[in-house]
Structure 1
């Protein structure tokens, strides 16, 4: 075909929507524009359409007159993974063994795994919330803290996150949302006899129990910062941008999918802090985010495109909240940062071009 191809690996459901331009929050137009800027042609594929024996794959590619159509092509040498696969995915492993560059090889890591990796770095220990796990960990933490966040290790977009708050004496309040609902339910809890439903949740899947960070607020609504950190042309980590996630009124999670609101980070920080302090915090967040990415890459092969949630307390202290291996970039668009939204697609395509050029240099020796 003559083009330099970059594969965009999608989950089956999203991949099926490509010819109808129904890919949820993934922008096909942004991929096309970003890839073209680096002399690349994007092709969209799913794992089951990659034949590692023949070296060919069935992909969707855009034609000028007919939109996206199926093509059978040699499997792209460079693939950006935007699908959810386990670290031990046999399909991805087969591609890697064949010398295919799959970056963001895995993009679903357990919160406990990420916390454990960062905890090994002494300098980063200061930005990690005190953390325990399971029912025994919950009881221990309830003896030391008055406000706790409970997170499923494998949860995403705020699903399954709960809060336990001491409201006076031995009385606690358990706050949570029903599946598919953005409304928070509050239930009194006796720490000596935890509700069966709470125990069932903690027993069904691994949970982290963390001290709740007293986040800075805007009109009584807490917010944190989503920082997109990516490798681009040249291969080095860089911060593409950040935006603030403001919790819904009365809510305790800031996820946009749970009713949170996306704001420009500078605007949110300047509403919560003085101008000078807001600038200092922003620069500190940039530095911390790069340090986290560089630490994680030591243990997570293929890491190239992540979204970090960074909390800021009312006193301006920073805390790491979590790492998102498949960053949902649409928050930039919702925050009115359309240029940064497009940049969040452009950087990974720059990295794809960098991998192409690196392969050429290696093969030329």
Structure 2
């Protein structure tokens, strides 16, 4: 295989950090190593530097003096790691010129993803009961005693709240994280007469209301699994790996950015359920995750690299919690799974090389 270029599309702020090696959770070194394994050279792009008229672009490419802005032939295959909304005109312009971009959009509303999965009868049993907006909230308090309220387009657990009815009482407790605070607070509220601050949050942005899944716990801390599902060489979906996310002590969200911790999925499952059950759970989670990816790919263009949160109850029921269109892979490192972390970079680069060699296999829908 001769060396070829593969594009890595970054947001402008992250792109500016490339020459200083300041790219947050994105590892330039991991991209370099993964791409080299497939005979490719990664070039780091931002949307404004892709000039298709002459067929050349400006990109950061690693040389003897580090990363330098270099004029390169516009890569035929680009892995999008920037945040763009569905139907972005910039992405559509590139696609219209025949470029192969995977994960063209990686920020989908939680309500939209839930609706797409709801269309598959075989997956409905894995979905928590859900409704949208204030009207949905009023319906849900009549059906469940414990609810999770999520911004439809939020990420890393930001803005997630809990509404729960106290045992043996008609009183409800609203738990949330005030702006600028690291400590959750709770208020007594009435579903018939919602607190003005809670109403204001729903007015400010669309919210999805879901029954709170009674997640299995380890040492009193609820946990779920992050499952990385990616296309690799050959174009088929594969489960790259998974790790467990434990909520902070006393917390109800497992996001690492909200105080959660990452651990080996195998170790957590074996401690909680035992070795034989843990192996069965891992197989079931893998099968469910692949089914979800295949369902979503029917409606989401260029989907190739996602992170799924899968919950497990004490009685071994599985639930889909949410889909992350730009999977933050650093959880594997925090869980001590450095080999899987490298695989999470390697697999998309394998898919990129596959598309370079087999452009007719590019799936846009």
Q: Once the 2 structures are TM-superposed, how far is the Cα of residue 73 of structure 1 from its aligned partner?
A: 1.2
1:8 aligns with 2:11: no
Which residue number corresponds to residue 70 of structure 1?
A: 69
Given that residues 31 and 42 in structure 1 are in contact (C-alpha distance below 8 angstroms), is that contact kept between their aligned partners in structure 2?
Answer: yes
Which residue number corresponds to residue 117 of structure 1?
A: 116
Q: Once the 2 structures are TM-superposed, how far is the Cα of residue 37 of structure 1 from its aligned partner?
A: 0.3
Cα deviation 1:94-150 (Å, max 9, x = unaligned): 111111000011000110110000000000000000000111111111111110000
Given that residues 35 and 41 in structure 1 are in contact (C-alpha distance below 8 angstroms), is that contact kept between their aligned partners in structure 2?
Answer: yes
Q: How large is the Cα RMSD of the aligned pairs?
A: 1.2
Which residue number corresponds to residue 247 of structure 1?
A: 247
Cα deviation 1:32-60 (Å, max 9, x = unaligned): 00000000000001001111222211100
Given that residues 79 and 101 in structure 1 are in contact (C-alpha distance below 8 angstroms), is that contact kept between their aligned partners in structure 2?
Answer: yes
Q: Once the 2 structures are TM-superposed, how far is the Cα of residue 192 of structure 1 from its aligned partner?
A: 2.0
Which residue number corresponds to residue 41 of structure 2?
A: 41
Evaluate the alpha carbon distance shift between residue 73 and residue 360 of structure 1 in structure 2; reply closer, same or farther with a 3 A threshold: farther
Which residue number corresponds to residue 326 of structure 2?
A: 326
Give aligned pairs, total. Answer: 360
Which residue number corresponds to residue 159 of structure 1?
A: 158
Given that residues 170 and 191 in structure 1 are in contact (C-alpha distance below 8 angstroms), is that contact kept between their aligned partners in structure 2?
Answer: no
State TM-score, norm by structure 2: 0.97
Cα deviation 1:48-81 (Å, max 9, x = unaligned): 1111222211100000x20000101121100000
17-26 or 186-195, larger mean C-alpha shift: 186-195
Which residue number corresponds to residue 353 of structure 2?
A: 353
Write the distance in 1 (CA, Å) between the matches of 2:279 and 2:295.
Answer: 25
Unaligned 5+ runs, structure 1 = none
Runs of 4+ in 1 over 4 A off after TM superposition: none
1:258 aligns with 2:244: no
1:223 aligns with 2:233: no
Which residue number corresponds to residue 106 of structure 1?
A: 105
Given that residues 355 and 361 in structure 2 are in contact (C-alpha distance below 8 angstroms), is that contact kept between their aligned partners in structure 1?
Answer: no
1:177 aligns with 2:177: yes
Write the distance in 2 (CA, Å) between the matches of 1:182 and 1:40.
Answer: 43
Which residue number corresponds to residue 207 of structure 1?
A: 207
Q: Once the 2 structures are TM-superposed, how far is the Cα of residue 271 of structure 1 from its aligned partner?
A: 1.7
Which residue number corresponds to residue 282 of structure 2?
A: 282
Write the distance in 1 (CA, Å) between the matches of 2:66 and 2:12.
Answer: 19
State TM-score, norm by structure 1: 0.97
Which residue number corresponds to residue 94 of structure 1?
A: 93
Which residue number corresponds to residue 270 of structure 1?
A: 270
Which residue number corresponds to residue 127 of structure 1?
A: 126
Given that residues 150 and 161 in structure 1 are in contact (C-alpha distance below 8 angstroms), is that contact kept between their aligned partners in structure 2?
Answer: yes
Aligned-partner SS, 2:173? strand
Q: Once the 2 structures are TM-superposed, how far is the Cα of residue 180 of structure 1 from its aligned partner?
A: 4.4
